[in-house]
């Protein structure tokens, strides 16, 4: 299926490098304005981007931005759209309250708008901007917008608390509480809870290619970590980090590597408080009580 959208583009006035593209959901020509544009440091225009197949890798920064929009609009789920090479297509940008500029142009921007009644702030220097500056997902709460990148997929009913983080090409598929970190590539199923300070291994660093996912009704306890996939109705004890090589004692006394349990359902992972052994026992998934239903009526 061919996708064709109209976007408003900002480019660097000197180099012509694409800084960002905003694709309104209405698919109409809607222009933006900012002080960096007024100062002549950046230029703007409209661009029509056409993607013949999302299975093909992006060909330009404009193409990449449209794919990130599609993910954040929940038009596509993580991993259902090709993002190969996206880092090489995007410019490193200083995201400022006066508009996006190349990092080398920040001081020129300060000088150019010195007479304006504005306090210039820089939210980040990165290739990916904040999601909420481009896409507002439906039925979602986000405590700190700086911690959700464009390209994150947040299903209706998701709450991202102030310390929660969601990277691009990752996110939730239903009602979820996110107080920890959902790294790039990670997918979290409906009615799952990522506890405060918890972390799920992504695929950006260390050469890791295995995509970690969590099924439905799972609890990743506070300050816990996950390096294997979970099925449904699983619990990771607070403070316990499970990697693929973690040795786990089973109910029958046998010991296996955690990778052998990847994707299985109804398991409670815990560390024995006296022996220090990591154990896995069967659970019915109701032990942790589930999400607060009132909290997720977004």
Residues acting as catalytic residues: 179
| CB atoms near residue 114 (< 10 Å) | 9
Which of 251, 248, 242, 237 has the alpha carbon at shortest distance from 281? 251
User: What CA–CA distance (Å, rounded) separates 219 from 227?
Assistant: 14
Q: State the DSSP code for 35.
A: H
Task: Give the DSSP H/E element, type plus range, for residue 99.
Answer: strand 99-101
User: What CA–CA distance (Å, rounded) separates 278 from 97?
Assistant: 48
CA angle (81 as vertex; 244, 132 as ends), nearest 5: 95
Residue 191, classed as helix, strand or coil, is: coil
């Amino acid at each position: 299926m061919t996708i064709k959208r109209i976007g408003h583009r900002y480019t660097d006035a000197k180099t012509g490098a694409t800084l960002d593209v905003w694709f309104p959901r209405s698919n109409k020509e809607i222009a933006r304005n900012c002080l960096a544009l007024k100062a002549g440091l950046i230029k703007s225009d409209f661009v029509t981007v056409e993607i013949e197949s999302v299975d093909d890798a992006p060909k330009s920064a404009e193409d990449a931005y449209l794919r990130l929009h599609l993910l954040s609009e929940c038009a596509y789920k993580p991993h259902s759209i090709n993002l190969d090479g996206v880092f090489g297509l995007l410019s490193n940008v200083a995201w400022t309250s006066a508009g996006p500029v190349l990092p080398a142009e920040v001081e020129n921007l300060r000088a150019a708008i010195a007479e304006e009644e504005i306090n210039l702030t820089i939210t980040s220097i990165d290739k990916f901007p904040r999601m909420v500056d481009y896409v507002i997902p439906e039925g979602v709460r986000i405590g700190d917008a700086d911690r959700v990148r464009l390209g994150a997929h947040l299903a209706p009913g998701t709450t991202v608390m102030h310390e929660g983080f969601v990277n691009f090409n990752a996110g939730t598929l239903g009602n979820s509480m996110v107080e920890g970190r959902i790294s790039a590539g990670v997918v979290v199923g409906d009615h799952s809870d990522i506890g405060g300070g918890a972390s799920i291994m992504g695929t950006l660093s260390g050469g890791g290619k295995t995509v970690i996912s969590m099924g439905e009704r799972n609890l990743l306890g506070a300050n816990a970590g996950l390096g294997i996939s979970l099925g449904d109705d699983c619990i990771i004890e607070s403070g316990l980090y499970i990697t693929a090589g973690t040795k786990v004692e089973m109910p029958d006394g046998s010991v296996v590597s955690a990778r052998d349990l990847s994707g299985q359902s109804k398991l409670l992972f815990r560390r024995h408080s006296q022996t220090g052994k990591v154990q896995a026992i069967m659970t019915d998934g109701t032990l942790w009580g589930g999400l607060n239903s009132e909290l997720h009526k977004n």
